[in-house]
Structure 1
């Protein structure tokens, strides 16, 4: 019994000794938000240091701050809410890695009317994108080199 417990503990330690950490902070860090217009779609790029461990997106009528009971106004007819798991706007020492606006109207876009950070709590980062055309569709993808999350809103 004691021998098998020791062997099991050694096996677990061996696994953890060779598994690299995802990043120094344990989560991806947002560093910038960029927007651009393309033929047939508009793009929101979340530049990151690392990638989130996962994400989920849904269309909502209202956006609420995930940490406090407060509505976040986002311009547009429809709102795409994307939640990134294992991501934040700060590093392991709670220094801001993203210092830009937390709720803004992107310039030069016709469909996308607003972008807001809707959650930044316990390594969960929420981004809300408001848009004018209720028939718009969207895609959310991650890309590397550099690390980024790309949200495309198709008109």
Structure 2
């Protein structure tokens, strides 16, 4: 059995914040450069809004976490930039897979022991948003429709 890396508040929040900011940047570029269909734009904008909502829940370094870039590099979490295809046909699948992986990253942090209660509460709220996002993406994927994400 593979041992999970220990995830702590000093690693999970900075790593998650970095990947979310990168995702928002990639999605904004996609929206302005490549997507002309309004339903795709609406979908991308809703995903940007959901990611910004998560970013708003991430505590600052003054709230009990500290910057710790070295250990955070060992934790694997993939952003949209690493998966985004050049065509819209595969875009939805890449986004869905990315969001599921990010949700698993947060879920692993929630079940890890030793997280202060206040930070754990923030992680649980973030996890709930990821669960909402991935549930909606799963439904949309099955119906082949780019429905806006509502969180």
Instruction: Report which structure shows greater RCO (CA 8 Å, sep ≥6).
Output: 2
What is the TM-score of this pair, normalised by structure 1? 0.26
Higher helix share: 2
Look at both structures and tell me which one has the larger radius of gyration over its CA atoms. 1
Higher strand share: 1
